[in-house]
Amino acid sequence: MLQESQFHWIVVGGGIAGLRAALTLAAVGDVTLLTKERASESNTHYAQGGIAVAMGGPQDVELHLRDTIRAGDGLVFEPAARVLVEEGAPRVEELLAWGTEFDRSTALKDSELLRTREAAHSLPRILHANGDATGREIGRALLVRAQANPRIQIHEGITTRDLLLEGGRVCGVSTIGPGDDVREFTGSAVLLASGGAGQVYSETTNPPVATGDGIAMAYRAGAEICDMEFYQFHPTALALPEAPRFLLSEALRGEGAHLRNSEGDRFMPRYHELAELAPRDVVARAIAREAIGPHGERLPVYLDMRHVTGTDLRTRFPGISAFLNQYGLSLAHHLIPVSPAAHYLMGGVRTDLNGATTLPGLYAAGEVACTGVHGANRLASNSLLEGLVFGARAADAMVAAAQAGSLPNAARTISPPAAPPAPASDVAVSQMRDTLRRSMWADAGLLRDEVGLRALRARLAAMQRELPAGASRAEVELCNLHTVAQLIAECALERHESRGAHARTDFPAHLPGDARHSRVVQGRVDFIDFQAAPAAAATTLR
């Protein structure tokens, strides 16, 4: 039998995937969980709409699978999607048993769970909590349980710099902590649950921590990275010059909101049969088109709920209502200006269905990972479910590998890390970051073409020569964002079609035949089938 103290796990990230995994890993070892900010600060915390889950039996599961595949525009890896929808219900039941308070039809604890419908779902299956604070409630329940477990040590304010390798196996991470002190954490295996990279774009709904650290570290270490061209742009972020790009949940349209152009016309029925409930990529591009005037001028687009009756919008969406109130806006009485913003990365570190990456000792789950479950366009509210399901599966696989003897124990000798050089000017780092983010939005955003992508590639190559050494959190984040930007730009340039969230104005149609996944490893890009053996790489990053 395995001795409980024999193994030591490193988990990078304190969102839904990292916390759920840590709870399983703690059963057979000590867990070091690293977060850049407070343990409650993650993309999970900001997830408003809800968690999609089929809890009505086999037929419900099949419908959820069908919707997921349809939204993914021909690129969903069906085995991964089937895992997601089949294992969702028991994982959500687990959350309920652990004290997660989803909204119910009455105040009684055992009354019926409320469900809403969101874009591209065929029926209402979205559970929500506190109206529009679902991620926060799930994160709270998991964090409470993790903090109560003495085998889980949570370290806040820790930025991961790079993966540590020993004999070709990932054995830990190097980090920068408060005061820019350098530290290494080592263990039997590392789970990346570090979330997405929305900060690579100047317009994003993501919090400041979302800088693609896990993807960049894994790429530098030699892991395969897939589908980076598929960045989902949420259609409806608040578009006020003085306000942040605050997310206006998909659930608003699920409750009946319409989208109107500057003339007051409802335009989505002209773009898709599902109108406002069309897949996100369709809605986002429709808004972008309606926002361009006849002479190229920018026009406003609005979300309109003034016609919605029978729902107390302040009670149903308390967080959104409170935020809008700061700017003198009300869902019930005003047109709300909206525009698309970078929201969710479908690509990431390639994993199998159990979270294992192409590097021994390295696992990944949640937005940092790419199982192919979302294809080219994620179905609304499948992200929390993905973190929950695949976070648990990755932890189970890590434990099984340990019990089979294929993972080392925690004991190892690592040389003390070298002190980093003096950090660069904060002003210079901030300016480079702003330039990178604006360039990405302009040339690798909603609409792309070869001219823009090649110009972006050249700017990123020039910027690489000026990158700082990574002596502070700001420098590390800049370097990671630069790596992610290169991966997105190169994959977008190599995919000569429009599919899902990837739209090329010079290649507006699908390529004939079955869609394939882009893959980048060690500076080279090719296209693969997730069920086939990896092919020889074809294109070198420049």
Reduced 3-state DSSP string for 325-348: HCCCCCCCCCEEEEEEEEEEECCE
As a whole-number percent, the residues of the chain with pLDDT over 90 amount to 76
**At 105, is the pLDDT very low, low, confident or very high (cuts 50, 70, 90)?**
confident
Higher-confidence residue: 534 or 269? 269
| Strand order from edge to edge, sheet including 369-370 | 369-370, 348-350, 225-226, 517-521, 524-528, 539-540
pLDDT at 417 over 70: no
**At 535, is the pLDDT very low, low, confident or very high (cuts 50, 70, 90)?**
very low
Overall average pLDDT of the 37-49 stretch:
68
pLDDT at 368 over 90: yes
Angstrom distance (rounded) from CA 11 to CA 394: 11
Higher-confidence residue: 441 or 47? 441
| pLDDT number for residue 415 | 47
Higher-confidence residue: 117 or 503? 503
Q: Locate the domains of the chain by residue range.
A: 4-197+346-403, 234-342
| pLDDT number for residue 6 | 57
Q: CATH second-level architecture of 4-197+346-403?
A: 3-Layer(bba) Sandwich (3.50)
As a whole-number percent, the residues of the chain with pLDDT over 70 amount to 92
Overall average pLDDT of the 198-203 stretch:
96
Residue 100, token pair as written in the block: 């997660």
| pLDDT number for residue 408 | 77
Pairing mode, if any, of strands 115-116 and 126-127? antiparallel
**Which of the listed ranges 272-281, 293-302, 306-315, 476-485 does the model predict with the highest average pLDDT?**
476-485
Q: Write the CB contacts of 413 (distance below 8 Å, at least 6 apart in sequence).
A: none
| pLDDT number for residue 421 | 61
Angstrom distance (rounded) from CA 290 to CA 2: 61
**At 541, is the pLDDT very low, low, confident or very high (cuts 50, 70, 90)?**
very low
**Which of the listed ranges 174-183, 475-484, 524-533 does the model predict with the highest average pLDDT?**
475-484
Pairing mode, if any, of strands 335-345 and 302-304? antiparallel
Average pLDDT, the chain: 90
Calculate ∠ Cα 465-471-473, nearest 5°. 105
CB neighbours of residue 114 within 10 Å: 18
DSSP string, 400-469: HHHHTT-S--S----PPPPPPPPPPPHHHHHHHHHHHHHHHHHHSSSSB-HHHHHHHHHHHHHHHTT---
**Which of the listed ranges 38-47, 128-137, 178-187, 348-357 does the model predict with the highest average pLDDT?**
348-357
| pLDDT number for residue 296 | 87
Helices 78-97 and 134-147: crossing angle in degrees, nearest 10, is: 70
Angstrom distance (rounded) from CA 262 to CA 276: 17
Note the pLDDT tens digit of each residue in 219-250: 999 999 999 999 999 999 999 988 888 989 88
Q: Which fold has domain 234-342?
A: Flavocytochrome C3; Chain A, domain 1 (3.90.700)
**At 473, is the pLDDT very low, low, confident or very high (cuts 50, 70, 90)?**
very high
| 316 is a catalytic site residue | no
**Which of 384, 323, 324, 316 shows the shortest CA–CA distance to 42?**
384
Overall average pLDDT of the 416-441 stretch:
81
Residue 82 backbone phi and psi in degrees, to 5: -65, -40
Overall average pLDDT of the 260-284 stretch:
93
pLDDT at 2 over 60: no
Catalytic choice (91, 151, 280, 350): 280
Higher-confidence residue: 321 or 109? 321
pLDDT at 537 over 80: no
| pLDDT number for residue 118 | 82
Residue 237 backbone phi and psi in degrees, to 5: -105, 145
| pLDDT number for residue 249 | 87
pLDDT at 536 over 70: no
Overall average pLDDT of the 477-498 stretch:
97
Residue 381, token pair as written in the block: 């509210």
Q: State the pTM of this model.
A: 0.90
